[in-house]
Amino acid sequence: FFNFSRRYPAYELYLYGEGNYAEENKNLLLTGIPVLFLPGNAGSYKQVRSLGSIALRKAEDVDFKYHFNFFSVNFNEELVALYGGSLQRQTKFVHECIKVILKLYRNREFAPTSVAIVGHSMGGLVARALLTLKNFKPELINLLITQATPHVAPVMPLDRYLTDFYTAVNNHWILKAQDLRNLTTLSVAGGFRDYQVRSGLAFLPRLSQHDSALSVVVKKQTSFFCFAWKLILATIRAFFDLIDENTRQITEDPKKRMSVLNHHFVRHPAKIFEENPEAFTGLTGAFIWITVKASKWTYSVYNDSDGKYFTFPLASHRKSYSHVYCENSIHGFSYSFFFFFPFSFFFFFSLYFKVVILKLQDYPSLSHIVIQVPPTVGNKYTLDCEFFKEDSRRVQLPVTHLFSFGKYNILLLEKNEKLILLTFERKPSVYRLHIPWSHEDSVVVAKVPSSTEISAKLHIAQPQNDSRVPELNIYSSSDCQYEVILKTSLLQILGQVIRFHAGVLPVYVVSNILLTYGGQLSTLISAGNFSLELVRTAKPYKVEPLLSIVVFLQGFNWFREIWESLSLPEVDAAVLSSQDAWFPLVSLILFLLGTGIAYWNGVFFSTSLRLFSSLWLTLFRPTVLRKDNKLITPRRFCVVLSLALVSWTTCGALAVFLIYLQYLFKVLKETSQNSSIYTVKNQSSMDSTSKATQSLCNSTIAEGISSLKMHVTILNLFTWIVLLNLPSLIYWLKNLRYSVRLDPDPCRSTAIILVCILEILMNSSTSEVKSSKLLKIAAKVPLPLSVAMLAFGRMHLYKVPHFVTFSLLLHVLCCIV
């Protein structure tokens, strides 16, 4: 346990230990191999136990000839995926931890000179950021394994510190790729069941200068929270295979490190790594030799006490066949393939069987294949071998697109891609979907007879320089007929849209509310309620065509030059299109989803407001409606000054939240007062009071209702601003015992402006705005602001409050001018 209380009071470094191992190392006289675990967003340093415990058991199996010392960093479970202000501080702390760890091994016989790092979630990004530090030596890290780390971009870009951090890290890794040749990096994604970090974000930047980076998707799809547990065995096996017997540390050879990682995470999971497999193997044992000349052969036996060698001569098969396929059903046994020179082959392993496929052309000197079947007392197994011609088993099919009406689920593949079907005979049916550029396999096991649906979805698009295509391998039964049908699933496409772009939905919701707000300003005389105005004004044809035209024109050099000369940032949709993660219909779908969310949010908000106002009216029945016509009073000025002071000295999001609560209370009170006036009006009409009194009462009610509708819309708009700033408020509350002031604060200046604006707006009425000379401008501005918000806010959510603030500022000016 280490405590850096002076410079980093919230962070700590721990050494994992248990049982006798913990007692032996409590004096920190360490002799093992250092591994540093970095937890991610809201992650606990205790997650290292899953790695350390398994590594300790494996070290006991080898009598501690080699063992690992696992360290873990306590980041105080900070929400660094939502607030980026502490990422740089975490990076510097990890640098200090590495230096302290290496000092612990000083003057040891096999002292390490580098540390291996395992980073979960944002911990992997912090590890990559170490290389951006000016005084960091790259040789201090030789191996980096990241698990479910969003390397490409943040899941929710809620502040500029987060996006700037990503830009700095990714640019450094691309520009300084030559300096990273001695660092081996593995990124493992969780697949489609990881609903927090989609696998496309977990792929490392493609570095053309070196080949020491590997990105894979786990074959068994796993959730984000279970991610650190699913990869324990593969990671620990890889660690022990990476040990150099001479230095008793992780090998300094980058090629061997990549070979080990490829072996455990790509080619042969759960198999022992052999750096130099023997080209010749002795065939020992008094086994029976059997020659098999048939092109298709099956062998099944139960409880056989005699081992056997099956030999397959290849000379007679080379002219007619291109491949040989062998598989066995697993019933508690193993078997071996023997070749008489170095070889490579495709190996596929599942829970139900093992498969080996050899291409005969790759082994022109090979004369025989020998399969050893050991004695199987008490076990049952089945062995199938078959020679086949690839052309007869390979069918290349075009992939269906959104508007095609074929059948079979091939979803969101590029239009120029093909799906290749390879069929093999076996029982039961097993279907393997292989996406070659993402090192991803999806395996589906189906009973016979059955109907099975396979969703072919991509985590990332096919790279431009990659000509490989997805393959669907069908391991079927020879005595059954199969029909393969292609179709496009609209439901799955919608799911892919949500998976890729759910993080930008707040932008579309706020855009819809902003259009509604502009519509209410333009029709103040007969202002409708929020839901009706939303249906009337929130139309995608007002926004989407202009965005599509800009994205299209940015494909031309002359337009880009004009755009850059105006110092305008690049449109987010153009960036996403360059990453093959965007097409025009996506924006339309998201806009309609945003409209639906805004509508039901408005219904829920209005209903809740009526319920609470009724409760308020029951508990505190107002008798006289008091109204101050002045927008700025000494009391309100003091409130603004106090909240501005809160924003400057503590946290901007806290001031935003407090002014929101004040506004909400004000609207709640006005709702109850309007209800009270309406009741008084009904009573006065029954009492036959004077026409002047009734007219005054009617005008008061009309003005109050009109103002209330506008306040409800502003509150709907401001609710999303509060939600977008909420992560920094939570971060500040969690770290309040270490510092009263949030530094850096992403919304401090914006909060001060919003406090001033909302304090005026909550005390304004529509009668003041109707006579304003700026009303027409204020009513028209929300439309271009909505367009700009969708253009520049999709990948920068923190820009959304700026657009809303500008629109509200014009409303304030309408109240004054």
In the numeric block, the tokens 């000839």 are attached to 65
Among 121, 199, 672, 675, the one annotated catalytic: 121
- Contact status, residue 119 vs residue 87, Cβ threshold 8 Å: no
In degrees rounded to 5, what are phi and psi of residue 779? -80, -25
Q: Which two tokens stand for residue 428?
A: 């039961």
- Give the per-residue SS3 of 471-508: EEEEEECCCCCCCCCCECCHHHHHHHHHHHHHHHHHHH
Angle between helices 652-686 and 634-649 (to 10 degrees): 150
Query: CB atoms < 10 A from the CB of 171, how many?
Result: 12
In degrees rounded to 5, what are phi and psi of residue 605? -65, -45
DSSP states of 220-278: S---STTHHHHTHHHHHHHHHHTEETTTTEE-S-HHHHHHHHHIIIII-TTS---SS--
Give the integer Cα–Cα distance in Å for 52 and 747: 40
Strand-strand pairing, 68-74 and 12-15: antiparallel
Q: By 3-state DSSP, what share of the chain in percent is helix, strand and coil, each rounded to 5?
A: 45, 20, 35
- Contact status, residue 586 vs residue 502, Cβ threshold 8 Å: no
Q: Identify the three-state secondary structure at position 115.
A: strand
Instruction: Give the CA distances from residue 317 to residues 102, 498, 778, in Å, rounded to whole numbers and listed in that order.
Output: 59, 51, 81
Give the integer Cα–Cα distance in Å for 752 and 756: 7
- Contact status, residue 224 vs residue 252, Cβ threshold 8 Å: no
Residues whose CB falls within 8 Å of the CB of residue 630, separated by 6 or more in sequence, listed in order: none
Is the peptide bond preceding residue 746 cis, with omega within 30 degrees of 0? Answer: no
Query: CB atoms < 10 A from the CB of 613, how many?
Result: 21
Q: Which two tokens stand for residue 360?
A: 């005969």
Give the integer Cα–Cα distance in Å for 543 and 800: 16
Q: Which two tokens stand for residue 714?
A: 């502003």
Q: Which two tokens stand for residue 371?
A: 């399969």
Is the peptide bond preceding residue 449 cis, with omega within 30 degrees of 0? Answer: yes
Beta bridge partners of 227: none
Write the burial class of residue 10 (CB in 10 Å: 0-12 exposed, 13-18 middle, 19+ buried): buried
Query: Which stretch of DSSP H or E encloses residue 305?
Result: none
Give the integer Cα–Cα distance in Å for 100 and 145: 21
In angstroms, what is the C-alpha Rg of the chain? 33
Give the integer Cα–Cα distance in Å for 406 and 281: 52
In degrees rounded to 5, what are phi and psi of residue 482? -130, 145
Q: Which two tokens stand for residue 793?
A: 């806010």
* Dihedral sign for Cα atoms in the order 523, 529, 532, 538: positive
What does the DSSP 8-state code read for residue 427?
S
Is 121 a known active-site residue? yes
Beta bridge partners of 706: none
Q: Which two tokens stand for residue 610?
A: 């009526």
Q: Which two tokens stand for residue 365?
A: 């000197």
Q: Which amino acid is at 322?
A: S
Please give the biggest Cα pair distance in the chain. Answer: 119
What does the DSSP 8-state code read for residue 390?
H
Q: Which residues are catalytic?
A: 121
